[in-house]
Structure 1
């Protein structure tokens, strides 16, 4: 019965969030509704709600995004000068995933992973 999951993450400033996801990560705007934003890339859809009082250092929003070409994705982010999280450079994890992570402007953690098993 369940078909997909679309995370909802907080954003302080829609213009900054939109710029980051559309211009840096190459998502497409799917919906822009006042204090609500929806972006999509391939099969990944992320929703954002406005939370102007958000303290980024206290934000624990996280999303794990699976990919089928982690090496190419990582390289493309490096080439486009997207900041990788200091503790999230591409590496193989003991749980059978190759992953890397980055933070968006509101410190939502985006982890990208691919199974190596």
Structure 2
């Protein structure tokens, strides 16, 4: 291999895939509580692609999912965490009881929510950002 091959950034994006039991419930939650929109113009029966800003989250149907046994998690970076947090509070989005907005010892300001299928979404911003 040529050394120029190693100079390329071969990884360019990540789109996590999380389980969902009911596509309409998931779509409504992410639309109405988090401000996501559908990505693409094809509606797949058991698959959902949503986006907000520069991120996408994909969902696959898992009707037998027991939310109490779901450990799906995503960490999402934001560039204005306080405004985003307030927008969710204003939409009456339930913040995780152990995940209210706070500065963590590792230098991040973070908060967390659970979606209808118990997928944990943690939002964070570096305190120096």
**Band of TM-score, shorter chain:** over 0.9
Q: Which runs of 4+ in 1 moved over 3 A?
A: none
TM-score (norm 2): 0.89
Q: Distance in 2 between matches of 1:96 and 1:18?
A: 32
Of 28, 44, 51, 2:37 maps to 28
Does residue 13 in structure 1 map to residue 22 in structure 2? yes
Of 74, 99, 114, 2:85 maps to 74
Does residue 60 in structure 1 map to residue 71 in structure 2? yes
Q: 1:76 is paired with a residue of what secondary structure?
A: helix
Q: How many residues align?
A: 117
Structure 1, unaligned runs of 5 or more: none
Q: 1:64 is paired with a residue of what secondary structure?
A: strand
Distance apart, 1:22 and its partner CA: 1.2
- Measured on the aligned residues, the alpha-carbon RMSD in Å equals 0.7
The match for 1:51 is 62
Distance apart, 1:38 and its partner CA: 0.1
The match for 1:95 is 106
Structure with higher strand content: 1
